[in-house]
Amino acid sequence: MCTGKCAKFIGIALYPLSVISIVCNVIQFFPAWETDPVKHPSEQMTPEVIYLGGVIGGGLLVLIPAIHIQATGREGCCNNRCGMFLSIIFAAVGVVGSLYGFVISVVGMVKGPQCYYVSFTGLKWGRPFDSELENFSKDNYLFHQNLWSTCLYPNGVVEFNVILFSMVIASTGISLVLCTIQMLNGLFGCLCGTCRNKD
């Protein structure tokens, strides 16, 4: 496949992935569609949501490279060796952003949501499923749906958390692969040209 056409395909594919990451991260600010946690973010909001892995990492840091990467596949000033070289740098930014969003989302999903639950000391806000990543095993709440009812409020916050973090993980994971491919594609385009017509 021509390096220019490949770049155009990758650039177009990155747009919906970055939008999915942004939308999912914004929705996470309203766990189980409740607005109270937004009013008290330090104690009621899942920290990984506040780190904006979907908005900044999988969103803006992928969307900006997508614009240039797509431009290298169209006829114009970017469809040349210099444009392909720049696309390597932009794709590297996309890799960093995707990796950031991916890691933050994985940590957020493994540690579980912030919710109101019954502890040994009574009812309190916290993370009932929080565990160190090195202790991740089959005992984790993700493998035991019967534990999800531990969170009393917001109602259904665990499902909400798992679904949205999973969507960000999927979109940033695909973005990571596409941006990595574009780095290689950009290298070939820089060395060999973009296969554009030289009329």
Instruction: Give the model confidence (pLDDT) of 153-193 as tens digits.
Output: 998 999 999 999 999 999 999 999 999 999 998 888 777 76
E strand segments, the chain: 115-119, 122-126, 151-153
Contact 148, 161 (CB under 8 A): no
For 22-70, the pLDDT digits (tens) are 999 999 999 988 888 888 887 888 999 999 999 999 999 999 999 988 8
Closest alpha carbon to 46 in 37, 55, 54: 37
Please tell me what DSSP assigns to residue 193.
Answer: -
**pTM of the full predicted structure?**
0.87
